[in-house]
Amino acid sequence: MRDGQEGVVLDLTETGMDTLGFGDVFEVVGVVPLETKDECLLGYVSKVEVVDGNYYVLDGQRKAVFVFDGQGTFLRRIGIVGHGHGEYERASDFTVDRDRGRVVILCGPREVYMYDLQGRFVGKKDVSPWLVWKIASCPEGFVGSTEDATYSEGEMAYLFYAFDPEFHARGKWVGVRRDYAMSTAYFPLQKAGGKVFGFDGARNAVHVWDGQADSVRTAYAVRFASPMPGGMKGQEEYMRNMFLYDVLMGGAWGGDGLVLFYLHEARQHVAVFAPDGERRMSGPYRDVFPDLYVGREGEVLIVPSAARFLELVRRHPDVVPGAPVSEDGNHVVLRCRLR
């Protein structure tokens, strides 16, 4: 469904009544247990990118990128926290610049650290005066997101900034308003088909940057029955009100469609749409909202801990294939397709 300049409308003013579970939304097409060694045991998965069949995983606890091959064998670690040469204070986000053979670790909000694909440090850039908390690469450079967390430019603050391959600013789009409270949801920028997708919980939208033009466009607008009103005075007020309204909590692009997780009438809900906005399914969701990442060829990735994976196998034996994983093992990559 298309509506003027706001892109394709994803209509959730009405929602299905049938409760949906994990297996109603996802088809698991592959299970990849990641190798369990002390040197690569993951604490908290913040982001995953798949490049040339390898899994690049940012561990938010160990603050480094861990690389595994397509079978889950550990290959290398990239990056380290510290104050020495090639070391950074924090790893806010990362992206793999496949076209130039680099892994870029963002030390938000102002610095990027660059490494080759073998983990050797090759340089550092300062992106000041912009404040960037997320980053993603595409063939023409990079796009960064401020997460609506910057007013350093006053009325000229923006949500997205684009950079060329050497991190020179190319453009900025989507103005940041002071009445936007930061959402509690975490939406990593997602790369698929040479494009970057940004799920926006403040504006209930999905923005797309194709890297070939100097602009971001709003590809999808989510139309809720009771969207969160503007004018929230801060995170505390936002938290008090989020169960009274419809709030976007997660989403992913799946190649032939997209999935959204959201709160509606204080209950978890899910919806799956075709690229043209046709709703395939929607309704209350009985499982835990998973963190979603984009895989290869239209796949969506879920990377649970070993304990969570075993719980999924027990609860959904007809949907989630078993694998030789122990409770204290490493995380597991679930390769999924949207139903």
Give the per-residue pLDDT at 2. Answer: 45
* Contact by Cβ (8 Å): 31, 323: yes
- Count Cα atoms within 13 angstroms, Cβ side, for 134: 21
Domain, as residue range, for 85: 4-338
Give the per-residue pLDDT at 242. Answer: 84
Note down pLDDT in tens along the chain; length 339 residues. Answer: 444 457 899 999 998 999 999 999 999 999 999 999 999 999 999 999 999 999 999 999 999 999 999 999 999 999 999 999 999 999 999 999 999 999 999 999 899 999 999 999 999 999 988 889 999 998 889 999 988 766 555 566 788 889 999 999 888 888 776 555 556 677 899 999 889 999 998 889 999 998 766 678 899 999 999 998 877 767 778 788 888 999 999 999 998 899 999 999 999 999 999 999 999 999 999 999 999 999 999 999 999 999 999 999 999 999 999 999 999 999 999 999 999
**Starting at the edge strand that comes first in sequence, how are the strands of the sheet with 141-145 ordered?**
134-138, 141-145, 158-163, 169-175
CATH number for the domain spanning 273: value is 2.120.10.30
Task: Encode pLDDT of 88-105 as tens digits.
Answer: 999 999 999 999 999 999
CA distance 57 to 32: 13
Give the per-residue pLDDT at 1. Answer: 44
CA distance 113 to 123: 6
- The DSSP element (H or E) to which 22 belongs, if any, is helix 22-25
Q: What is the pTM of this model?
A: 0.93
Give the per-residue pLDDT at 3. Answer: 46
Token pair for 98: 């496949």
Indicate the number of domains in the chain. 1
Q: Decide: helix, strand or coil at residue 25.
A: helix
| Count of all residues that appear for the chain in the document | 339
Give the per-residue pLDDT at 204. Answer: 92
Token pair for 51: 């490049």
Spell out the residues 6+ positions from residue 311 whose beta carbon is closer than 8 angstroms to its own: none
Strand pairing category for 64-68 and 190-192: unpaired
Give the per-residue pLDDT at 220. Answer: 96
